[in-house]
Chain A
């Protein structure tokens, strides 16, 4: 009996100790933006708070600030940095304490975090649901988004899809590559994936033309960037901010800043934005059940 009592006591102590650790204070640094843009960070921090047991200290970063000074004011051992301003703080402290970065299209570069780059699995599943005839996916990428391509190829293969990755270094070669795609013969079963890449998914030059040409050629374009669905892509991934917060909270507890390489994960929790006009143009008609899965549809 005494023996069982000791086990129970030990188990309780372990649970307490684990709870104690789990309930450790975390600082969240994120940009202080005005409404309605602040809703994103509110949702992320809510997700963080609901996952973490301990107190969460909020530090809102103004437009101009001294990253070093603010970094010195952080007293907690763990920090979650959000957005571009948060990244500046993370750069100051990521070698001293566990830091994860979110709400940025980051790539593995020493700092752990959850990138806004949507998880290819989710994207390809969605593609299969919304455009079942597509067998080939072409993605043109620059070094900024190269880190995900390898995984994406494997995932595509698993899904029975053929992912054709084309690596480019600049916008000129990117444009030529896109032009070559559109000059191809059979485009009906091919889709173009626009990654979160500032070169190959240039908002001013590439995206408008790609969407226009795709419309003309009745090609499927899907994107990792939320706004592209509104502009004419068949669908795009929208981060589920609260789930993102939860993912970040879980990640911060697993990050060991002393180990290398860092851990950068793709965004698992996404919602869908679907352009129904593009879908109709492409000959797709979704039933109400399918539509109920869409977080956003365009035109509104």
Chain B
């Protein structure tokens, strides 16, 4: 597993991995071949030397027959000297049939055990040490039964083969070991040379083979780094050429797409510029129109309010005169005139406030007041309103003396607007004003049990000139500016207004104002 890991390391290039893999494979293969060859050659060489040793020993045995039979050591000396003359023969010995030593030439090693006393019937190794072999072969008297094609001899079956002694030769392994060492060295040198040579050839070949791949990778890397669509050179093996061609096709396609995108982008930018300029123009036109409208509304409101106030004023004078004359029938009519004039004035004031807000001409007059001051004024106004629809007006507050810095008139206008709406849209229910504060804000929550608001209605009730719906508009009178103005006022005082409501389950408007508002 570690082998796979090492040669498939993703940090290495494919070229390095292939070269590493091939070199390791060749090395392993060479080692195996070298081992097999060395073993085979050494074994063969050993067999050859052993065969030679056998032949020498058997030759001695044949030559020693006469001397053993004659009992004359002199007859064997020449044969023994010949045997000793061989390069690897250390010593030679002749034994009689009873293993008694007949003749010895050379020094027999001292560490030879009693194996040599075996009565062998064929040539064999009786002792083997790392340094030598002791070969033993029987000395036989063979029957003179030479088979001739002439058929001129008598049968000699009566004569039997007989062992009359043994020839022993100690055969040195020095030459074998030296030859084996030379073979091992030669094979090792050849093996290493082969690995090195093959390694170089492989490296040369693979470098040449992988060069186009490397160039392709380099081109890709360059393209990635620069963002340019660099084309690769189509060269090398078929697969690499295919890859380069595919890459080039992809680059060309991307380049074309890029050109198209740039073209589209330029076109879009032109269109956006064109639309933006149109929008700016439209916006400016709208702003001008809005400003003109606000100015117009402010002027108109001012112009309208003056005659209405004259109407009201003169209405009050007429009413007083009629009261003095006790003409009560007309007084009722005059009340209606006054009431409607007041209503018209309120509407005009609302429009005037909205216009001032939009034109940025309204001022905030912050002053330090207590909550109690504000609630006292509100109670006087709201109590009669709550009774119109038979509602119960409840005030809950625990911090009467909390001092806050607000535009008192505008806060009162906001709270009155919200409370009057609550009284207007609640019948036979409850309208509550709950005042509470936390560390940073004071909260005025106006809660009713009236008809409530749907989620959709909650989204637009703070918009100008929006009422819940036309049918209700007819049922519940109003300009549709109250909540819009209230929201603007609260925001001018750095506060927030929000609503929580559910249709037919009442509504809850909360005005939150900062306690430490700057003056």
Chain A residues with CB under 8 Å of chain B are: 31, 33-34, 37, 40, 83-85, 87, 103-106, 116, 171-172, 174-176, 178-179, 198-199, 201-206, 209
The answer for the CA separation of A287 and B206 in the assembled complex, in Å, is 88
Given the complex, which residues of B lie within 8 Å of A209, measured CB to CB? 66, 75
Contacts A40-B152, A84-B151, A172-B164 given; indicate if A203 touches B69 (C-beta within 8 A): no
Given the complex, which residues of A lie within 8 Å of B159, measured CB to CB? 198-199
Complex contact B70–A106 (CB within 8 A)? no
**A178's closest neighbor in chain B, by CB?**
B70
Contacts A202-B144, A204-B144 given; indicate if A103 touches B69 (C-beta within 8 A): no
Complex contact A84–B153 (CB within 8 A)? yes
* Chain B 148-164 interface 0/1 with A at a Cβ cutoff of 8 Å (1 = within): 01111111100100001
Complex contact A176–B152 (CB within 8 A)? no
Complex contact B66–A104 (CB within 8 A)? no
- Out of B141, B142, B150, name the residue touching A83 (CB < 8 Å): B150
The answer for the CA separation of A175 and B141 in the assembled complex, in Å, is 12
Whether B72 is near chain A, meaning CB under 8 Å from some CB there, is yes
Complex contact B155–A175 (CB within 8 A)? no
In the A-B complex, list the 10 residue pairs whose CB atoms are closest, starting with the nearest.
Answer: A175-B69, A179-B70, A83-B151, A209-B66, A31-B151, A198-B144, A37-B149, A175-B70, A202-B144, A84-B151
Complex contact A206–B153 (CB within 8 A)? no
Near A by CB (< 8 A), chain B positions 101-155 give 141-146, 149-155
Given the complex, which residues of B lie within 8 Å of A105, measured CB to CB? 152-154
Given the complex, which residues of B lie within 8 Å of A178, measured CB to CB? 70
Contacts A171-B69, A176-B71 given; indicate if A33 touches B144 (C-beta within 8 A): no
Complex contact A175–B149 (CB within 8 A)? no
- What would be 21 A-B contacts, judged by CB atoms less than 8 Å apart? A33-B149, A34-B149, A84-B151, A84-B153, A84-B154, A84-B155, A85-B151, A87-B154, A103-B150, A103-B152, A105-B153, A105-B154, A106-B154, A116-B152, A174-B69, A175-B66, A176-B70, A179-B66, A179-B70, A203-B146, A209-B75
What is the distance, in angstroms, from B171's C-beta to the closest C-beta of chain A? Answer: 25
Given the complex, which residues of B lie within 8 Å of A103, measured CB to CB? 150-152
Whether B65 is near chain A, meaning CB under 8 Å from some CB there, is yes
Complex contact B164–A40 (CB within 8 A)? no
What is the distance, in angstroms, from A202's C-beta to the closest C-beta of chain B? Answer: 5
The answer for the CA separation of A33 and B151 in the assembled complex, in Å, is 8
The answer for the CA separation of A174 and B164 in the assembled complex, in Å, is 14
**B147's closest neighbor in chain A, by CB?**
A84
Given the complex, which residues of A lie within 8 Å of B141, measured CB to CB? 171-172, 205
The answer for the CA separation of A209 and B164 in the assembled complex, in Å, is 17
Complex contact B144–A40 (CB within 8 A)? no
Complex contact B152–A83 (CB within 8 A)? yes
Complex contact A40–B150 (CB within 8 A)? yes
The answer for the CA separation of A124 and B244 in the assembled complex, in Å, is 109
Given the complex, which residues of A lie within 8 Å of B153, measured CB to CB? 84, 104-105
Given the complex, which residues of A lie within 8 Å of B146, measured CB to CB? 203
- Out of A84, A104, A116, A172, name the residue touching B69 (CB < 8 Å): A172
The answer for the CA separation of A203 and B299 in the assembled complex, in Å, is 164
The answer for the CA separation of A106 and B153 in the assembled complex, in Å, is 9
The answer for the CA separation of A31 and B28 in the assembled complex, in Å, is 67
Given contacts A179-B71, A198-B144, 11 further A-B contacts (CB under 8 A): A31-B151, A33-B151, A34-B149, A83-B152, A84-B152, A84-B154, A105-B152, A172-B141, A174-B69, A179-B66, A179-B70
Given the complex, which residues of B lie within 8 Å of A33, measured CB to CB? 149-151
The answer for the CA separation of A220 and B412 in the assembled complex, in Å, is 170
The answer for the CA separation of A132 and B517 in the assembled complex, in Å, is 169
The answer for the CA separation of A201 and B153 in the assembled complex, in Å, is 13
Given the complex, which residues of B lie within 8 Å of A116, measured CB to CB? 152
Complex contact A205–B69 (CB within 8 A)? yes
Given the complex, which residues of A lie within 8 Å of B151, measured CB to CB? 31, 33, 37, 83-85, 103
